[in-house]
Structure 1
Amino acid sequence: MRIRDIRITGAQRALGVRVILGAVTAVAAVAGVTAAAALPWPAVSTPPRMLEITPAPAEAVLACDGPVLALGRSAEEASALSVARPGAVTVGNDRGDEPGSDVLAQPTIEGEAAATRYVQRPDGREAVSAAAASSASLADTDMAGFTASACRPPQMKSWIAGGDTETGTTGILLLANPGDVNATVQVTVYGATGPVTPPGAEAVPIPARTQVALPLAGLAGGEQSPVLRITATGAPVRTSLQSSIIRTLEPGGIDTQSAVRPALDQVIPGLRVVGDAAGTEGASAIVRLLSEADTTATVTVTDAEEGTPVGDPIPVELTAGAPIEQDLGVLDEGAYTVSIRAAEPVVAAAWQTTGFGAGADFAWNTAAPAFADATLIAVPPGDDATISIANPAAEDITVSVAGLGDEPQDIAIAAGTSAVIDVTADKLYTIDPQGAPVHAAIGFANDSAVASIAVWPDAAHPRPVVVYP
């Protein structure tokens, strides 16, 4: 077999080189693309456009609780509600006038029942702040003590952490619709077995400009530590709870508490321990808590003015939907701030008493929401009135406090402490934190009377709204 010589010309050799180089280049390009795809690419993102818009001020509507009510004073009808004592109201606006007012109907109450609503309209595009609060003292054979409450704006959802249905206790849930549109309310009771909507509480009608009073025993019968959730449809309602107690035929106090809101951090300022309860063993001060999710809440009691903890922080295990009460321990006479922190939102209120004998009184101190802007408050008639202002921040702040028409007083509040300021009852005050979030409460406390009113942000000033165009 003859094998021929194979000769490769220069042109063929050049062509082969080009083919090989092209193949190598193609492989390299593919490898480069593959490697580039495997490498992290630089993040390129455009933050969503957002605008913070402050709405034009609208009218502010405040609904008051009205008179103190008594249950079962009529021998003919044990479930009848009647007026026990009218309240004394302090009301005004920051212009030195009073807002417009009219009376809410109370069709189920015997006697003159004047629950008032106040309406403050803006001055053009300028908000006008208004505030109102009421108080009453009783010394009857079936009811005795002192109560004070603020007139509040209505809400679509609210919570009441207080009251009980044990023998000797009376609770009356007040549901006010100060608007011009009818509302329907669902009351959910959280108790030992979790949330329940009692029969008849699925859709309680609250007509426009009307306040409805419901005995707590008919809603939460048998519950020692209930928490109520009130959900409104159609129109917002203002919710509060009036409660009283009799111990072995002796009246043990009365109270009217406002609604609270769930939050991860709750602050209850102005818990003032006085009277026989100071420094004694027994549950003279407790906190009631509820979360709709399993969580652990940490309860801390601090000396209001010193800012030092009283005892160790108390961990409280919360089961979803089950209220729990925690004794705050022995507290000496003085002012305290109760703080609650949890990983899930909680509602909270602290109960205190001046004692357990004749002439004692009690109060539910509700958690106070934070506010950072100037807020007008009304201090109703009562003895030993104070304003407690808690600074939860890690920095010292200065808060301005001024009675209406008076020169402002600058109050320095160190980080983590509170200031307790003596004030004149039956007067309007402005609290201006100057941009620093604070919690505040109006308080009354002596050996035979105790009451607390949590300060809410000014209802006349609209909150900024974030808009994503």
Structure 2
Amino acid sequence: MNRTTYSLAGVVAAFAAVFGIATVLAPAPGSDQPKVSTTAARKPVQRSTLVCPGVTGSDYAATTYTAYTPPGTVTGSGGTAQLQVGQTADGAGNTTSGGGDGKPVAPLTAPGKPVTANAAKTASPLIGTADGAFAPGWTVQETTTVQAGAGHGLLGTSCGTPGADFWIPGASTASGRQDYVQLTNPDSTAAVADIELYDANGAVNAPGGEGITIPGDSSVPVLLSTLTGENSSDLTVHVEARTGRVGAAVQAMDSSAGGDWLDPSATPATSAVLPGIPADASDVRLVAYATGSDDANLKVQLLTPTGAITPAGHETLDLKSGMTTAVDLGALTKGQAGSLRLTPTDPSQAAPFVAALKVVRGKNGNDETAFIPATAAVGQRATVADDRSGATTLSLAATDSAATVRVTSSAGSGGGTPATKTVTIQPGTTVSLTPPAPQGGKGTFAVTVEPLSGGPVYASRELAVAQDSLPAFTIQTMPDDGGTVAVPTAGEDLTILQR
């Protein structure tokens, strides 16, 4: 009883002391004393994690990894950036060693200098971290050349950041397609994830997609056709982690039209931009899915080099909630590179959705395929590695406001000095350009895009390398590279004790 009495007395005394101090130190109401700022400042990240999916289902593949960190984000040196070979698992907990000799893959020696490594035949998953001066904007490009068979051509992906929720429209279980969802766990403990499929009729019965276990430091390739007996030409894949975190991407392999990596769409939103449809695209197919409980009614625009136009016969797009919608847009660009913009027809009734484009170049049996998912804006800076002289095209799109950006190319082991170019994009247009090659450099290089003024910019990079008569190509979108994060400014504000 006495202990309780003394405790309460102590609490009362403590509060009295605090409020007494607050009364003395707190600024009087209406005084001129400045308030504590709560503005968020952007600070460089201190650690980055990336996962590169393994390549499955081809005996004629060779893969290249190019790693890069832009310079100048962090003052000083220190830190590392490297990838390690992971294991491949079967979903039932059984793992197979990814091989390798235990040495890191494509370790960086300094910011501003790309490093390239090669992997022959089927590539294992890679899991990596960067810290210190190497963490801000660390980017790894995985590029695979498939010489023959399903998925022939060029497959490319920017190794992804692990998370818990991914939407990937544009997959398929149609005859002639082999689509693998690659689930990669970067952590030492097991993760569990679900794969849900949605076609034109709604949710697809796929019980095999429930509760997939991904062992630590491993990747599980899941062939979509093993999850369902239905042949669906257009699917939206939803990957959701129950425990842990994973990286997710779809390796799409077509027996006649090549293939590419199909990366996740940007976070569901009420509008979207899909930048960088090639000028010589022979066929473009839009696949979209309304993720919420409401339908999404969208206005369709093509942002051309001279302005925004409405594609004839495709002025609007109606997305029914829970159902995948696909529209064949044909040879949409007609000789001029462009970007697709989707906005609500009625902003007061906007609904979130995800979207992706399937893009085909070539014809008469020499067809190659790439994908362009909806992407976030460049933000502070965007980075893409494995660029090559004469093979790289950069696409920049602006929506409602003009924008000016700086494009910088940085050389790798071939040497050379960085080259820069300033580009202005008018509202409602797409600018397609060849990035400046590093002066005196040879081999591959890395490209960064940094907004200087104006409104948001959306970007993508096309890498096109002819493979005999095949127009092999791949397209990677360029959202913010995550080099900085917003950190709120904190400080004492004893006025809260008076409220």
What secondary structure sits across from 1:333 in the alignment?
coil
Residue 399 of structure 1 aligns with which residue?
Answer: 405
1:244 aligns with 2:257: no
What secondary structure sits across from 1:135 in the alignment?
strand
How far apart, in 1, do the equivalents of 2:138 and 2:47 lie?
10
Per-residue CA distance 1:138-171 (angstroms, 9 max, x = gap): 2214442111111111121011111211111111
How far apart, in 2, do the equivalents of 1:56 and 1:144 lie?
40
Per-residue CA distance 1:361-389 (angstroms, 9 max, x = gap): 01111112113212332135696211111
Residue 430 of structure 2 aligns with which residue?
Answer: 418
C-alpha contact 1:58 1:460 (8 A) present in aligned 2: no
Q: 1:66 aligns with which of 31, 38, 54?
A: 54
How far apart, in 2, do the equivalents of 1:144 and 1:267 lie?
28
Shift of 1:356: 4.3
Distance 1:327 1:466, change over 3 A: farther
How far apart, in 1, do the equivalents of 2:126 and 2:331 lie?
40
Q: What is the TM-score of this pair, normalised by structure 1?
A: 0.77
Residue 258 of structure 2 aligns with which residue?
Answer: 253
Shift of 1:112: 5.5
| Higher-Rg member (1/2) | 1
Mind listing any 5+ residue stretches in structure 1 that lack a counterpart?
1-48, 71-81, 278-283
Q: 1:179 aligns with which of 169, 172, 187?
A: 187
Residue 311 of structure 1 aligns with which residue?
Answer: 311
Residue 162 of structure 1 aligns with which residue?
Answer: 170
Q: 1:264 aligns with which of 239, 260, 270?
A: 270
Letter in 2 for 1:388: S
Mind listing any 5+ residue stretches in structure 2 that lack a counterpart?
1-36, 73-78, 91-95, 99-120, 345-349, 411-416, 438-442
- Identity across matched positions, percent: 20
Distance 1:181 1:381, change over 3 A: farther
Residue 149 of structure 1 aligns with which residue?
Answer: 157
What secondary structure sits across from 1:264 in the alignment?
coil
Shift of 1:357: 2.7
How far apart, in 2, do the equivalents of 1:307 and 1:153 lie?
34
Shift of 1:403: 1.0
How far apart, in 1, do the equivalents of 2:392 and 2:253 lie?
22
1:33-432 matched pairs, under 5 angstroms: 52=40, 57-67=45-55, 69-70=56-57, 84-95=60-71, 99-108=81-90, 113-123=123-133, 128-196=136-204, 198-220=206-228, 221-246=230-255, 251-260=256-265, 261-274=267-280, 277=282, 284-292=283-291, 293-303=294-304, 305-309=305-309, 311-312=311-312, 314-331=315-332, 332-342=334-344, 343-380=350-387, 384-394=391-401, 396-404=402-410, 405-423=417-435, 426-432=444-450
Shift of 1:84: 4.2
Residue 3 of structure 2 aligns with which residue?
Answer: none
Q: 1:449 aligns with which of 461, 472, 478?
A: 472
Shift of 1:466: 9.8
How far apart, in 1, do the equivalents of 2:40 and 2:404 lie?
27
Residue 280 of structure 1 aligns with which residue?
Answer: none
How far apart, in 1, do the equivalents of 2:43 and 2:403 lie?
29
Distance 1:127 1:143, change over 3 A: closer
Shift of 1:51: 5.4
C-alpha contact 1:189 1:219 (8 A) present in aligned 2: no
Distance 1:66 1:95, change over 3 A: farther
Shift of 1:347: 0.4
Shift of 1:122: 2.4
C-alpha contact 1:64 1:152 (8 A) present in aligned 2: yes
Distance 1:401 1:195, change over 3 A: same
Residue 413 of structure 2 aligns with which residue?
Answer: none
Q: What is the TM-score of this pair, normalised by structure 2?
A: 0.72
Task: Give aligned pairs, total.
Answer: 394
Shift of 1:117: 2.2
C-alpha contact 2:379 2:479 (8 A) present in aligned 1: no
How far apart, in 2, do the equivalents of 1:452 and 1:113 lie?
20
Distance 1:382 1:146, change over 3 A: farther
What secondary structure sits across from 1:200 in the alignment?
helix
What secondary structure sits across from 2:163 in the alignment?
coil
C-alpha contact 1:413 1:419 (8 A) present in aligned 2: yes
Letter in 2 for 1:63: V
How far apart, in 2, do the equivalents of 1:464 and 1:371 lie?
19
Per-residue CA distance 1:38-78 (angstroms, 9 max, x = gap): xxxxxxxxxxx9653657723111111233x21xxxxxxxx
What secondary structure sits across from 2:226 in the alignment?
helix
How far apart, in 1, do the equivalents of 2:128 and 2:432 lie?
29
Per-residue CA distance 1:4-51 (angstroms, 9 max, x = gap): xxxxxxxxxxxxxxxxxxxxxxxxxxxxxxxxxxxxxxxxxxxxx965
Letter in 1 for 2:369: F
How far apart, in 2, do the equivalents of 1:222 and 1:148 lie?
26
How far apart, in 1, do the equivalents of 2:254 and 2:377 lie?
31
Shift of 1:433: 0.7
Distance 1:207 1:141, change over 3 A: closer
Distance 1:206 1:101, change over 3 A: same
